[in-house]
Structure 1
Amino acid sequence: MKAKSSETAYDLIFQNVARFIDLTDEEKDLFKSLLKGGSARRKEFVMRPGKVALYEYFVTKGCLKVYSIDRNGVEHVSMFAIEDFWTGDMASFMLERPCTYFIKALEDSEFLMISKESFERLFREIPKFERFYRNLYQRSLVSYIERTNQGISLTAEERYEIFLSKYPHIANRIKQKDLAAYLGITPEFLSMIRSKMSKR
């Protein structure tokens, strides 16, 4: 299902890139030409495990859930991607090996996509994009390390408080079971935490 990529969507991705590098009008035109528009209705899958990830995604509208399912059928949410977020399976995309994640739309969503071929052309023709993606990946790695450390050293309540502090604009857009899967707890335990916090 293809989305109608509006100028607002391109403005959003240009603003995202501008946090790290400045682009000329000509460079913006090239970048724009390498992007494809896509969309997914609520509950529709954008990506499933087993195939090589063909694109990296920049969300311009809606909310995507990135998750895996273990051998016991338990869901583990890695991230929620809303407007102005990049997402995908980086290892699959870069190394061209089968992906291990599902990406599912929690809301009707739209995004801009870049393929590996376009990604490499971008690096060749606009070398400063390497700096942009290096910053992007470094932030992703730092976020992953922080979450891993939090899972080891913090209580579920502390992890929940950090999520609310860091992503207050996401908390009211996702279901309790999805947030619980992100925190690594059951929905029932999350209800207990919320009840306890509401009585403070």
Structure 2
Amino acid sequence: MSLILFNKPFQVLCQFSPQEGRPTLADYLKIPNIYPAGRLDADSEGLLLLTDDGKLQHDIAHPDHKQPKTYLVQVEGVPDADSLARLQAPINLGDFTTQPCKAVRIAEPEWLWPRNPPIRQRADQPTSWLAITLQEGKNRQVRRMTAAVGLPTLRLVRSAIGAISLASHPLMPGEWREVTPAELVGASPG
């Protein structure tokens, strides 16, 4: 059984099938019969786990298995206590209501790589960083949540799934390494 930790670059599609003019996982991973356990939008970056084990893929990706996923989010504006409280409470996004989550303001992570291309900077608009940890992960959920509280997302990096994080397994965008399933739940590798 293989479990691959991959740092998905910005604008890479989370699929192996070719897409004309767009980079995909196949441009970075030449390992046969592995599939992503969950997805990241093309405009999101960071941690993606891939495996050749269907049950493990389901266990990682499905919200019933409660693998927390942490996202580092650069937002336009400065969150106050009210906007952080609103992010952590269930938010009705129209087509679904989010589950409660953890959202805290953080300093810009020192280990984080520069994005290529860089995000737009507006001199008259400050930016801030948040760490948001979800038990679920619906399509564009974090972006929709931050927009709902008046803090549009500028950059979104998934930094952790379960106990596996890019902070403790440093990889540059496009790099990968094999990990053990035990590392996902925080057990020491055997």
Please give the TM-score of this superposition, normalised by the length of structure 2: 0.22
More helix by share: 1
More strand by share: 2
Higher gyration radius (CA) = 1
Please give the TM-score of this superposition, normalised by the length of structure 1: 0.21
